Amino acid sequence: MNSLLFYCQHSLGMGHLVRSLALASSLREHYRVVFLNGGPLPRGVEIPAGVELVNLPPLGLDDAGRLISRDRRRSLERAQSLRQQIILDTYQRVRPLVLFIELFPFGRKKFATELLPLLQAARQPASGRRLICCSLRDILVSKGGQQKQHDERAVELANKYFDVVLVHSDPDFARLEDSLVSYSSLRVPVHYTGFVQPQRHNGSFSRQKQILVSAGGGLVGERLFRVAIQAWQLWGRRDGLKLRIVAGPFLPENAWQSLRRLLQRSEGISLQRFLPDISAEMHASIASISQGGYNTVLDILNAQVPALVVPFGAGQEDEQLKRSRRLERYGAIRLLEQAELNPERLALELERLLEFTPRHIALEVNGAANTTRIVHSLIASARRQPKTLPQRASEQHEVQL
C-alpha cells in the first residue's frame, strides 16, 4: 500500500487537529497514513485505527501570539531542532507517495523552518514525483497591513512546492479568493472538497432542558465561560433549565480552578473538562452558546440547535468573526461580537435565544470522502500521464521568508 504523510500543527484550538484526523481516517482506506502531530494531544482524542501517529515535541502560541514550547522539559530552540530532525527522518522512513501539509504556506509562517526542508526533500528529483497537497479550512485569518506581502509570499511558496490546494469548504459559502488577495497569481489547482464534519449525527435525540456552553479546545474560552456564569446568575428565568459548560482540554489550569470556585455560588450549572463527542451533546441541548470555530459551527448546523455565537477575535484573529457573520446573514445563528460580551447583555441574549428558530442551510459536508476521491483521482491521472503533474517555472528560485 502506498504511503501518505500528513503534517498537522494546532496552536490555539483543536479545530485543525480534529479536521486533519477526520481526513486521515478517510485517506487510510487507500493509503498507509502516517500523521505528524505538532501540538499537545488532548486526553480523549482518538487516533483513527490504522493511522500511525508521530508526536513531535509540542509547540503552540502564547497570549501574545509568540511561539512557545508546550513541553516544560525542552526550550523552544531545542524543541524546534528535534522537530526538524524527526520530520525529515520520518519522511525518509515513510517515503510517501502523497504529502499533506495543513495550512502552510497560507498560515503557520512560524513553522517554515521545519516545513521548507521537508518540502525541499520531497521535491528532490532523486525522490521521484510526489503529490504535495495543501489542506485549508474555509476562511483564512487576515494579516492587516501585512496582507499583500503575506499573501504574495504564500502564493509564491504554493506555486513552487505544491501540486494542489484542497479547500475544505462549500464554495457557495466561502471561497479562497475571499481571503487571499493574491489569488490571481496562484497557479496551483484549487479543489473545493466541502466541509469536513468528523462526527455527523443523523439520528433522533431527546432534547434535554439544558443550554450548552463551549469554546472548542478552551484555551481562549475563559472569558466566555465566566460571563456565561455571571449572566446565568442575573437571568431570572429558569423553568427547570440547566447550564452545562464544557471547558475544553486546553483551558489553563488556573482558569479551570477559578471557574470551579465561581460555581460554588451558583445553582443549575455544571462544569466539565472534556467530552469525547460534543456533537452529540449539541443535539441533546435546547440551545448553544459558543465561539465560532470551524468544527463548532458544523456541529451547530448539523444539530439545528438555536445558537448564540460569540466569535473569538483577539489581535488579527478574525476568521471566526467572518464565518459567524456569514452564518448570521443566512439566519442560521444569532451573533454577539466579543466587544459586546458582558453579563447583562448575555442575560438578555439568553431570553432571545430561546425564542430563536434557526434557518436550515444546505452545505456540502462530505469533505473527508471528497478529499480522498480527489487525491485518488489526481494520482491515477498522473500515473496515466506522468508529465501532467505541474512543472514550476520558479523551481530554481529560493523564496525568501
Could you tell me if residue 16 is inside a domain? yes
pLDDT at 260 over 70: yes
Which residues span the domain enclosing 307? 208-353
What values do phi and psi take at 26, rounded to 5? -75, -40
Could you tell me if residue 394 is inside a domain? no
pLDDT of residue 64: 73
Domain with residue 217: its CATH number is 3.40.50.2000
Q: Are 312 and 185 part of one and the same domain? A: no
pLDDT tens for each residue of 309-364: 999 987 678 999 999 999 999 999 999 999 999 999 999 999 999 999 999 999 99
| Nearest of 287, 317, 315, 289 to residue 303 by alpha carbon | 287
Residue predicted with more confidence, 210 or 267: 210
pTM: 0.92
For the chain, how many structural domains are there in total? 2
Could you tell me if residue 360 is inside a domain? no
Q: Are 172 and 231 part of one and the same domain? A: no
Q: Are 372 and 231 part of one and the same domain? A: no
Q: Which helix (H) or strand (E) holds 99?
A: strand 98-102
Q: Are 186 and 212 part of one and the same domain? A: no
Report the chain's mean pLDDT, rounded to a whole number.
91
Could you tell me if residue 400 is inside a domain? no
Could you tell me if residue 358 is inside a domain? no
pLDDT of residue 206: 80
C-alpha cell at 220: 481562549
pLDDT of residue 400: 33
Q: What share of the chain is helix, strand, coil (3-state, %, to 5)?
A: 40, 15, 45
Does the CA dihedral 67-271-43-206 come out positive or negative? Answer: negative
CB-based contacts of 256, cutoff 8 Å, min separation 6: 247, 273
pLDDT of residue 236: 75
Q: Are 16 and 116 part of one and the same domain? A: yes
pLDDT tens for each residue of 153-199: 999 999 999 999 999 999 999 999 999 999 999 999 999 999 999 87
pLDDT of residue 353: 96
CB-based contacts of 128, cutoff 8 Å, min separation 6: none
Q: What integer is the mean pLDDT of 120-129? A: 84
pLDDT-based confidence at residue 384 (cuts at 50, 70, 90) = confident
pLDDT-based confidence at residue 393 (cuts at 50, 70, 90) = very low
Q: Are 22 and 167 part of one and the same domain? A: yes
pLDDT of residue 145: 85
One-character DSSP codes across 28-39: TTTSEEEEEE-S
Q: Are 191 and 307 part of one and the same domain? A: no
pLDDT tens for each residue of 261-300: 998 878 899 999 988 888 999 999 999 999 999 999 999 9
pLDDT-based confidence at residue 391 (cuts at 50, 70, 90) = very low
Could you tell me if residue 203 is inside a domain? no
Q: Are 191 and 246 part of one and the same domain? A: no
Q: Are 155 and 256 part of one and the same domain? A: no
Q: Are 75 and 149 part of one and the same domain? A: yes
Could you tell me if residue 99 is inside a domain? yes
To 5 degrees, how large is the angle CA 131–CA 136–CA 139? Answer: 160
Q: Are 103 and 225 part of one and the same domain? A: no
Could you tell me if residue 47 is inside a domain? yes
Q: Are 232 and 175 part of one and the same domain? A: no
Task: Please say whether the beta carbons of 250 and 40 come within 8 A.
Answer: yes
